Structure 1
């Protein structure tokens, strides 16, 4: 495939990466519903095999919920050093084709192959070759999306999962986006999709019919992003070695929370989602931020920065709950809760920085 005078972007996404590595290395697990994570009462699913997903098991789900959905679920402790090593293998394959690699996590990345090291004109062919080489070297499958910008490439990679690929050509972008439900757009979560729906915006075509001014009035700066992606426009370049500035999750509740106990319980899905992302990416952080929006739409945030990286989910929960204590007793209902983690780095980065002090 050739995109004249435009970029050729591939989004590569490993299929159920952690769980697939475990099934590869332990034949007993093959064909069984597998969850990587803790089976404890407060455990969280970091990844689920496709067999487990058929029962509704998903990453960031509390382990107790996952077991209710799938009583036969097999829990496996994560082996992050193994996943990192496999990720390095896969990154090495990418580097044979292009230096423009933007990793999003251990198991997915954007590649700009507009010009590439093998002088292959077809981005589709490059994706096929990369996926074949990944299978040959790791016995793991990957899915790929190919398009002329990052937004569409990401959408396309979900379209033929697992172990497939899909192309959205420049002539197809507008039509492809128009037919999607807004909840299928990467970056639009359930709460935002519900707000869009309440405004009568259900599809990409509905979104395209709104003015940028209208969308900014309702969604702030994000409204401009929605305006452009509804038109299949995304000018973000592929940035090698990109590091996220923060990891966050928030929940808007159907009914306002009125008691401290309800608020503490409402925080749990956010905490689970943030730590699940930490597990997937290998990132850790030092700054925890709690976001609260009240029933009258007043919004406040409270943050705390620690000396070292947060070691685990219990430490994250402890800091978030301590921040919450400063907001009690409640004087009005709580409409939204959010938790984010920033000052991000990997443990390897921190160790290297500490060692540098002694050199």
Structure 2
């Protein structure tokens, strides 16, 4: 049976700032823009003692705690610590699946032979991350990803919880269905109408021919996971390549003038272009996101697929602003975002090349192959070296979606 860990950094964004600035230790810290309508992104555990949590308005939090330290988000800092975090974990196993910027799954089935127990390994990893990076982590260990993820949430901060085939029904099944990763608010509400409130309710629920296809598939899928019978739930995917790069910004004052909006699109397109080039990637899907000032509206995203891949700022800007002009209803705007997705690194990019270039490339390949055989060592061209270096470069493997948008509660 496999042994899978879920390692989750506690109050990640706040913890990064505390690791960087030792004077913040034992102080109530929140991450949020210090603006009129700011919402708290995350609160450290000292702040939580004042009943301050992610999603709270900043002005209310300040009323609860007059010594509250407010720090502006710094995504580059979070990426730096995420890279250090995942690099550190690689000394325990190469089988790491990045779930988000501050959490991952690790298959330690083979690694475990070097340790006395699962608990010992978890304690060593936890201490290692805390000592080397000053980041507190909670670890859940189990025989599938679903149970490991739930387990890591049970004890925070600096918790270790082990779920095995003997105790999962006693520990996991009494919990609310809201504790299951992948079951969102809408799905939970739908299950509640069927009197399904706990995991035990879900696994005991008997499906009938009267169920809708949506409900049938939903219950079947999660019943397999929560009874330990989903074999796919034990597979760790090491493909952690970047899927998209984008920026979103919530405005302190609503945007209504086209000139302001246009300037924003130019600025953000230049920033995205720079990040694409720094990571040696290109994309051919450009999208924009908008949320109107009306509180009843949801975020809307629209996209366009280009014929050619690009990282050019002007191409990003022109396509994004054209999309915006097509869909904007002239109402005041609270949030805007732009991004590029369907990314490839430059070595994967498929380009048209001439017959002469094909012949030239084939000749070079034949020559390097012959030299390799004669010298009994691998010989590669400079371009091939750069390609392999890029593919093996860990920098671009850590953030699944490299968006400058912070999630609440990190």
TM-score by length of 2: 0.58
**Which string of whole-angstrom CA distances, capped at 9 and with x for unpartnered residues, describes residues 195-219 of structure 1?**
2212211111211123286766344
In 1: Cα distance, 2:77 partner to 2:192 partner:
42
Q: Mapping of 1:50-89 within 5 angstroms?
A: 50-59=45-54, 63=58, 66-67=61-62, 72-89=67-84
From 129, 135, 150, the equivalent of 1:134 is 129
Are 1:192 and 2:191 matched, yes or no?
no
Q: Mapping of 1:145-294 within 5 angstroms?
A: 145-208=140-203, 209-211=205-207, 217-219=213-215, 221-234=217-230, 235-236=232-233, 237-243=235-241, 286-288=286-288
Moved over 6 A (4+): 212-215, 282-285, 306-310, 318-324, 339-342
**Which string of whole-angstrom CA distances, capped at 9 and with x for unpartnered residues, describes residues 155-207 of structure 1?**
00111111110000112223333211112222223333222212211111211
Match of 1:266 in 2: none
Distance 1:22 1:203, change over 3 A: same
**Which string of whole-angstrom CA distances, capped at 9 and with x for unpartnered residues, describes residues 50-98 of structure 1?**
1223445444555456556656532112333333232222222211111
In 2: Cα distance, 1:302 partner to 1:206 partner:
36
Are 1:303 and 2:299 matched, yes or no?
no
Are 1:40 and 2:57 matched, yes or no?
no
Identify which range, 234-243 or 93-102, moves more after superposition: 234-243
Indicate the RMSD between aligned Cα atoms, in angstroms: 4.4
**Which string of whole-angstrom CA distances, capped at 9 and with x for unpartnered residues, describes residues 22-57 of structure 1?**
223334422222112312235443332112234454
Structure 1 runs not aligned, ≥5 long: 1-5, 248-281, 292-300, 311-317, 329-338
**How many residues of Structure 1 are paired with residues of Structure 2 in the alignment?**
290
**Which string of whole-angstrom CA distances, capped at 9 and with x for unpartnered residues, describes residues 220-268 of structure 1?**
7444322323424443311114358689xxxxxxxxxxxxxxxxxxxxx
Match of 2:97 in 1: 102
Match of 2:341 in 1: 343
In 2: Cα distance, 1:37 partner to 1:286 partner:
28
In 1: Cα distance, 2:209 partner to 2:339 partner:
31
Q: Secondary structure of 1:287's match?
A: strand
Q: Larger Cα Rg: Structure 1 or Structure 2?
A: 2
From 13, 17, 25, the equivalent of 2:12 is 17
Distance 1:302 1:79, change over 3 A: closer
Distance 1:224 1:57, change over 3 A: farther
Distance 1:179 1:241, change over 3 A: same
In 2: Cα distance, 1:191 partner to 1:232 partner:
24
Q: Secondary structure of 1:166's match?
A: strand
Q: 8 Å contact 2:107–2:236 — kept in the other structure?
A: yes
In 2: Cα distance, 1:156 partner to 1:172 partner:
12
Q: Secondary structure of 2:70's match?
A: strand
Q: Secondary structure of 2:41's match?
A: strand
In 1: Cα distance, 2:20 partner to 2:175 partner:
38
Which has the higher relative contact order, 1 or 2, with Cα contacts under 8 A spaced 6 or more apart?
2
In 2: Cα distance, 1:112 partner to 1:215 partner:
36
